[in-house]
Amino acid sequence: MAFWNAGAFDAAESAFESHLEAHPLDATTWIAYAQMQKKVRVGAGERPTSRLHPGLQSDSDVRVSKASVFRARRVLYRAIDACAGEPTDARDACATRLASRASLLQALGLLELTHGYEMYGSTLLEMAVKSQPKLTPVLRWRRVRCARAAHVVAGAGRVRKMRESLRNRFEV
């Protein structure tokens, strides 16, 4: 992060990539990498906004740009894919893989939820909690409760299709 804060984006990305190549199940580092990518690169001409859908802003929103959210999303998808599959050795226990994947699904769900994709984000959060019940407190957050309440408005058929699509995509 020190590289990033100093404006050395390429060096920061290289450091994260090197670590993650050696430790692909390190969910904490993947999430930190996504958070770093979510920071706006003003020097690169990115225009900051509070979120992708300005009508849904909150005082607590982090300043982002379209490009920075897409970078963060790409990192989280890579991370989730890295945690897929069968364990390769004893250190790579199935439980570690599942815990990492659940944390990453939660991070992706929160990213999507706060950037205008409430149904998608809240469904990802539900999947994360189903996989790792210790993540249940996230479902009590006000913003998440409001998004889940909107599922009723969307209709059961639409919500069922979303859940099925996500189960297929993330093999949960």
Residue 104 is predicted with a pLDDT of 95
Token couple for 167: 């189960």
Residue 41: beta bridge partners?
A: none
Instruction: State the pTM of this model.
Output: 0.82
Residue 108 is predicted with a pLDDT of 95
Residue 97 is predicted with a pLDDT of 82
Model pLDDT for residues 49-107, shown as the tens digit of each residue: 765 555 555 655 667 888 888 999 999 999 999 887 665 655 556 778 888 999 999 99
The separation between CA 28 and the C-alpha centre of its own chain, rounded to angstroms, equals 12
For residue 71, the tally of other CB atoms under 10 A from its CB is 21
Query: How far apart, in whole angstroms, are the C-alpha atoms of residue 124 and residue 64?
Result: 21
Query: How far apart, in whole angstroms, are the C-alpha atoms of residue 30 and residue 61?
Result: 21
Residue 157 is predicted with a pLDDT of 80
